[in-house]
Chains A and B, each alone.
Chain A
Amino acid sequence: MPKFAKLPFKKDELNKNLSGFFKGMLENGAVNAVLVPMAQAKKGVRLTLVTSAANTAQVDPFAPIAAVSGAKIASSLTSRPSRRKVAMVLRSCEIRAVIELVKLKQVNLDNVLLIGMDCLGRYENTDFAKFQEQGGTSESFLENALAGKTSMPDFDIAGACKICEFPMADNVDMRLCAIGAGNGSVFIEAVSAKGEEALEKSGLKIGETPAGRGEAVKKLVAVRTEARDRKFAEYRAETNSFEALGDKLAACVNCYNCRVACPVCYCNECVFLTDTFRHTGEQFMMWADQGGLLKMPNDTLFYHLTRMTHMSLFCVGCGQCTSACPNDIDLMPLFRTCADKTQARFNYQAGRAVDEEQPMAGFKSDELVEVTGQVK
């Protein structure tokens, strides 16, 4: 049975109250550290690793920004673990990526208390700066977004978020609940036994459950799912050949930023940076000879298609690829539409369960008979 603690707040005091919660957890030893979005000295909000209870004042977990995927930070902190207990406040896409990284042995959750925050979307990094300049705060964002309005005068939440069907995080120990919490309050939910223990230690009183939450989440998921299916259909019609795909990627300069930003692009060294792709001048000339010309840098489509075969099974749809592209290529629908098909083929869903084997990590002798269609 999930347990909830209500955290009411007066205007402009949401973060103050949340900071009290994190402070309590640190002081009472529920955890030794907290990784949480925090307002930076001048501007911006970044994930920040806090080890002292005296330093929680600037937390801002609901800030609509994810400058880099928190899953990558979680990997930095735990792939060679510290042995200290750390609470990580992440959004759903980051947590789903974390689940995939656990399977790849790139995240270790042994000493981690996962706290999933309700996510109504994030602004692109540059848009978030504008959002702050225009006086936007997490409170104003939550209020508007919960009423269905995320758009600002000249920007909106990231495209990935508009079609994200996972506003609420699963596979967590605790949740910070805003959806269906009613105005002027958020709830902290203990989901696992580990979460319950931490909630008790935080000093908050377990009490009423947010009555409308289940319905509100369902409604939001339905809206997002519908938007997703529309986007998929539209995008698939536009990218049904290599040529059409090439058009979509026309601005690509092979910088590989999308790969760097991707939380589930798991190779420690990307093959496209190895000697395999450090061709000789003679090789380039031979390729050019084949058709009389060669676009440079070459292998653009090859790179993106290879990435699809590598990471589409783990794609969580976070949209960091789109955010990272210096040439404004909207890569998210490209990888999401592909991932949708590859994951469906193996009845797999990235981030669904930590004990679900990744499709390329195993095999059975009596499966996928339709691939060859041959029976002995």
Chain B
Amino acid sequence: MGEFEPRIVAFFCNWCTYTAADLAGTSRLSYPHNIKIIRVMCSGMVDPKFVLKAFLNGADGVLVGGCWPGDCHYINGNLKARRRVALITEVLKQYGIGEERFWLRWIAASEGNMLKEIADDMTAKLKQLGPSPQRNMGQMAV
């Protein structure tokens, strides 16, 4: 068996973080394939259900990427996302999904480098942490 490869579901906002991923690509920066990107219009539209469903279906990590405070295309969607992430974190923490598995990060459209760094960092940390306890339960209990 090879090394454990974490599966990270990433919700990236269209205007900043997704554009940063695009920039990382055009700049020929390589980031780990563990990050599976889902483009959303704003980090503020990441419904708690998206995050819960990802973890229940065995994701090892969830990364939400949004614009820096003050830069949101919709003015303050990212600030709403921050409160919501804090709430979801509190729920998940009680059932064995710690905050080390659920990240919110601000990554601006120009920060292709930072996107790579964060993707590297999260992948490395989750490799150390090991698979999500939910991973092998499949659809039995969800």
A residues touching B (Cβ–Cβ < 8 Å)? 236, 239-246, 271, 287-288, 290-295, 298-302, 305-306, 308-310, 312-313, 337-338, 341-342, 345-346, 359-360, 363-365, 367-368, 371-372, 374, 376
Q: Is the interface of A mostly helix, strand, loop or mixed?
A: helix
Q: Is the CB–CB distance between B140 and A291 below 8 Å?
A: yes
Which residues of B are found within 8 Å of A291, using beta-carbon distances?
138-140
Cα distance A313–B87 when bound, in Å? Answer: 9
CB B87 to nearest CB in A, in angstroms, measures 6
Which residues of A are found within 8 Å of B106, using beta-carbon distances?
372, 374
B38 at the interface (CB under 8 A from A): no
Which residues of B are found within 8 Å of A271, using beta-carbon distances?
49
B129 at the interface (CB under 8 A from A): no
**Which residue of the partner chain, among A245, A306, A313, A374, contacts B49 with CB atoms under 8 Å?**
A306
Given contacts A302-B53, A309-B87, contact A363 B76 (CB under 8 A): yes
Which residues of A are found within 8 Å of B31, using beta-carbon distances?
none
B92's nearest neighbour on chain A, judged by CB, is: A305
Given contacts A309-B52, A309-B88, contact A363 B138 (CB under 8 A): no
Q: Is the CB–CB distance between B133 and A368 below 8 Å?
A: no
Q: Is the CB–CB distance between B139 and A288 below 8 Å?
A: yes
Q: Is the CB–CB distance between A305 and B94 below 8 Å?
A: no
B137 at the interface (CB under 8 A from A): yes
CB A272 to nearest CB in B, in angstroms, measures 10
Interface size class of B (residues with CB under 8 A): 35 or more
B residues touching A (Cβ–Cβ < 8 Å)? 48-49, 52-53, 55-57, 68-70, 76, 79-80, 82-91, 93-97, 103-106, 133-134, 137-142
Q: Is the CB–CB distance between A290 and B138 below 8 Å?
A: yes
Given contacts A239-B94, A302-B56, A341-B93, contact A359 B140 (CB under 8 A): no
Which residues of B are found within 8 Å of A243, using beta-carbon distances?
133-134, 137, 141
B57's nearest neighbour on chain A, judged by CB, is: A290
Which residues of B are found within 8 Å of A294, using beta-carbon distances?
139
Given contacts A364-B79, A368-B83, A371-B82, contact A295 B94 (CB under 8 A): no
Cα distance A345–B87 when bound, in Å? Answer: 8
Give 21 pairs: A residue, B residue, CB < 8 Å, sorted on A.
A239-B94, A240-B94, A240-B96, A241-B134, A242-B55, A242-B137, A246-B141, A287-B139, A291-B138, A293-B138, A293-B140, A295-B141, A300-B141, A301-B141, A306-B49, A346-B83, A359-B83, A363-B79, A365-B76, A371-B82, A371-B104
Cα distance A236–B90 when bound, in Å? Answer: 13
CB A366 to nearest CB in B, in angstroms, measures 8
